[in-house]
A and B are shown apart, each in its own frame.
Chain A
Amino acid sequence: MSWKNLKTLAIAILLVMDVFFLYSLIARERAARYYDSELIDAATKIFHESSLYVDKSFLTERIVSLPVYSGTLDEAFFEALLEKMEGNGYTAEKETGGMRFVREDVELYIGNDFTFLYGSGGEYASPSEMLESGSFVRCEPEDFPEILQAARAFLSEYSALHLAAGERFYYTCSFEELFVSGTDGVLCVSQEIGGRDTGNRLYLLYSDGQITAADGRFAIMAPVRKMTAQTVGRMELLFAEKDYLDEKYRQGGEVSRENMILEAVEDSYEVFFDADGSFYFVPVCTLTYRNGETRTYNSVSGEIYS
C-alpha cells in the first residue's frame, strides 16, 4: 500500500476512533447527570407503592451540584468588628457566644452563630415574637415603600459591618414578608448566597418612621471560600423520603396511607458551625407536598435535616 493510501486509511480509522470516544464520553457524562427513562419509570412505580407521587420532571436531573461556602467567625473577626464599632462610637462587651455593642440608647448583639439582635430607644422588643400575637396582618411589601426605604437604610448601615473578607462572595437580601399592625410593621428579610436561600431570616420592627428593633439570624461575615461538594443524587434523596414515609406509616398504625403528592423540590443552604468558629453553608433540598408538608434533606449526607 502506498504512503498516500495509508494516510487516508489512518484518517478514517482515527476519525472512527475519535467519534467513538467522543460519543462514549458524552454518553457517560449524560448518564452521570441524568437518570434514564427506564430507571425513572421503575422508581416512580416504587414510590407509588408508598403513596408517594413524584412527577418525572423532578427526576431527570441526577445531581444538583451546589458548592459549599465557608468562612470563619474567629477572634480576629470579632477584634476587627470591635475596632470598627468602637470607631462608630459603640462600647463593646464580650458575652457568651457573641458581642454586645451599646451606643446611647442603641443596643446591638452579634452572635457567633449569626444571631442578630437590635434595640433602640429603650425598646428591646422581639419583632419575631410580636408576630405571634396575631395582631399583625400580612401585606405586600411593595405597598409600603416607606418601610422598605427604612429597612434598606438600616441594612445598608449594618451591611457596612461586612468586613473586607466579604468581597469575593456576598449575600443578597430580599424582603420576603411584611406584616402590618396600625402604623407599625414587621418586615422579614431573607439572606441569599449564590442565588439560593441561606435560611437566615431577620425580622425588622418599623415604628415611628424608623427601624426600632430587629431579631433573627443574619450573617454579617461573608464566606471566603467556595468548595466543591460531594452531594447525593436526587433519586437517593427520594428513596430516603420513601423510607421515612414507610417508617412513619408503620409506626402510625393507620389503616390507609395518605397520598403524598410532591409539588416542589427546592435547593437552598443551611449553615453549620464548626468548633473553631468556621461556618459552612451546606446545600439542602426541601421537598414540598400538596398538603403543605415539607421536609428538608441535607444534600451531602442524604439525611433528614428538618
Chain B
Amino acid sequence: MRGEKRIIEIVKTIAVAVLLVLLVCLCVIYMLSYQGGQTAEFTRNMMERLTGESIKYQYLDYFEQPYTMPEFIGFSSGRTGESIGFSGGEELEQAYGDVIRFYEELFSPESTVTEMTEEQGEAAFAQIMQGRYIYVGYFCDLPKSVIAGTAETELLFSGISGEFIKEIFIVPDRYLKDGFTVGAGGTQTYASIYSFYAVARDSEGRYYRYTTGDAPQTSQDVSFNTNYYLSYNTAESALRYEFAAETETDAFLEKYGFSDKVADTTVIYGESLSGGLLSVSRGTVDFRLEMSVLNALYMNPERVTSYTDDAGVRIYFDEGRSIRFTPEGTVQYTALGEEGISFEEIFGYPAEFEWDVFDYLGAAMILADSLEPIEDSLTEGTTLFLSGMEYDGETLRLSFGYRYHNLPIFINGSADMITFEMSGGLIKSVSFAVWDVEISQETSGSPDFMWLLRGYLTDAQEKRRLILAYLSQGDAASCGLELAAVLP
C-alpha cells in the first residue's frame, strides 16, 4: 500500500515536471509566434529590386537604338588613297559591331589607360593618320562607360566609368604572326595579326592612350589585322575620304587658312554624297497637346492651375513644378527644390540604391519617347541620338537631337532638340520645341565636299570640325545635306 502511494507520488512529481516543461515550451512558442515567426529569405523588397532590374532590361531596348552610334567610322590600309568609311546605313552598324569587339578589350579592367600631354597626343594623332587604323568619331563627348554600355549592353553592368571620348583611333601595335583570327563581321579570316592599342581625344583636347592587357593568342581573340580595310572596301556605301590633316592644300586653301580653321580629323569625302530632302516647321501647340505633355511629365491636368501672360505664354503650376508653353512652340518643364519627376515614377519601382548613369540615360530616353511632339517627329529614317552630355558633379545635362539616316538635323543652328537636367534621381528640367519634321520622298545630291569647304573657309573665323548635316531654319523650307561647322 505504501509502495503504491510512493509510486503515485513519483508519477505526480514527474507529471508536474513534464507539464511545467511543456508549459515553458508552449509559452516560448507562443511568444515567438507573436514576433512573426520565420523571416522570409525572399522578400517583397527583393522582388521589387528584381523588377527594377527587369526595368533596366526594358530600357536596354532603347540602347539598342542608335542613340550613341558614331557619326563616322573609317578604315585605313595605311597607303595613300586607301581610306574608306561609313556615315550611315547597315554597313556603319556592322562596322561598329567590329569596333565593339575592340572596346571589350580596350575598356576591360585588365587594360591600362594613360593620359597624354597635348603635344604627345597631337603627335600621336598625326602619326596614326598616316598609317593603318580604325577611326571612330562621335557627335559629342561621351563617357567611356556610356560608349561601352550602349554599344554592348552586357558591358552596361560592368561598372566601367572614366574618361570622356569624342574620337578614337584603334591602331596596330606589334606584328605577331600570320594566321586565323576574328575578321570583319566576326568571321574567321586569315590575315597578318597585330596586337593593338588606341588613342582617344575629347573635345577639350585631352588625349588618352589605351593598352590591352594581353596580346591576342588564339584565333578567337580580337586582333588588329590586315583584313578590315579589304573586307569593307567593296561595301556599297563605303565612302573614300581623307582627314583634313592629310589633305593636300592648294593656294586657295592656304590663303584662307585651311589648317587653322578646319580641325585635323574633319572627314573630307572623296565623292559627292546624296541625301534626303526634309523640311522643318513650327508645330501647333493646342490644348490637347498641352494635356498630353502634362500627362507625360507626370503632372495631373485635374490638379494643375494655369494662367496665360500678356505675351501669350501659358503656364501650368502644381506643387513646385511648372510647365511653360510659349506661342513659338517651346515647352519648358521646371521643378524647384525637392520636386521633380522621380525615376521611381518613370521606372515604376522604388529604389534603395544609388542611380547610375544608365538609369539617368534610361529615364531620359523613356520620357523623351513618351512625349508626343518628339515621338511624332520620329518618322521612318529619323531617330533620336545623344547630342550632348555634361556633368558638373551634381547635375547631369543630357541633350538629344534628331538624325535622318544617321546625319544630324540642325534647327536654327542647334542639334539639341530636347534637353534634360537631372540630379539625385530626379528630372529637374525638360525643354524642347515642337517641330514638324517632314521627310520628302525625293533625294538630293550634295555638292562636292571641297566645294562646300571652300565656301565655308571664306567666312570662317575659328577652328571648327566640319560635318555633313541637314541645316534648317525651322521655316518649312526644304533642306538637303550641307556643311555644318561644330566645335572640334
Contacts and interface: CB of A to CB of B under 8 A. Distances in A.
Contacts of A274: 50, 53
B153 A96 contact: yes
Contacts of B33: 25, 28-29
Interface centre among A10, A97, A230, A280 (most CB of B within 10 A): A230
Interface stretch (B37-45, B108-116, B122-130, B339-347): B37-45
Interface in B250-282: none
Interface stretch (B13-21, B284-292, B407-415, B470-478): B13-21
A7 B157 CA distance: 70
A274 B353 CA distance: 15
B50 A272 contact: yes
Given A28-B33, A273-B53, A275-B56, A280 B42 contact: yes
Given A96-B152, A96-B154, A228 B30 contact: no
B231 to A, nearest CB: 18
Contacts of B157: 275-276
A246 B294 CA distance: 25
B126 to A, nearest CB: 36
Contacts of A306: none
Is the contact region of chain B dominated by helix, strand, or loop, or is it mixed?
helix
A137 interface: no
Interface string B164-180: 00000000000000000
B23 A21 contact: yes
A22 B33 CA distance: 12
Interface in A208-260: 227-230
Nearest to A28: B33
Interface stretch (A12-20, A50-58, A115-123): A12-20
A302 B48 CA distance: 11
Interface centre among A28, A273, A275 (most CB of B within 10 A): A275
Contact of A228 (B27, B42, B51): B42
B42 A300 contact: yes
Nearest to B26: A21
A291 interface: no
Contacts of A275: 53, 56, 157
Nearest to A300: B47
A17 to B, nearest CB: 6
A88 interface: no
A97 B153 CA distance: 9
A228 B38 contact: yes
Interface residues of B, number: 35
A80 B186 CA distance: 23
A18 B19 contact: yes
Interface string B36-66: 0010111110111011011011000000000
B27 A21 contact: yes
Nearest to B157: A275
B42 A7 contact: no
Interface in A1-34: 4, 7-8, 10-11, 14-15, 17-18, 21-22, 24-25, 28-29
Given A21-B30, A28-B33, A301-B51, A7 B44 contact: no
A68 interface: yes
A241 B57 CA distance: 27
B353 to A, nearest CB: 11
Given A25-B33, A275-B56, A298-B47, A230 B22 contact: no
B44 A300 contact: yes
A282 interface: yes
Nearest to A9: B16
Contacts of A11: 12, 15-16, 19
Interface string A283-299: 00000000000000010
Given A14-B20, A18-B19, A25 B44 contact: no
A104 to B, nearest CB: 16
Contacts of A7: 9, 12-13, 16
Contacts of A22: 26
Nearest to A17: B23
Nearest to A301: B47
Given A7-B16, A300-B43, A300-B47, 19 more contacts: A10-B16, A11-B12, A11-B16, A14-B20, A15-B19, A17-B23, A21-B23, A28-B33, A96-B154, A228-B42, A229-B40, A230-B43, A230-B44, A273-B50, A274-B50, A275-B56, A275-B157, A280-B42, A301-B47
Interface of B: 9, 12-13, 15-16, 19-20, 22-23, 26-27, 29-30, 33, 38, 40-44, 46-48, 50-51, 53-54, 56-57, 152-154, 157, 186, 220
For the complex of A and B, 6 pairs with smallest distance between CB atoms: A14-B19, A230-B40, A227-B41, A21-B26, A68-B42, A300-B47
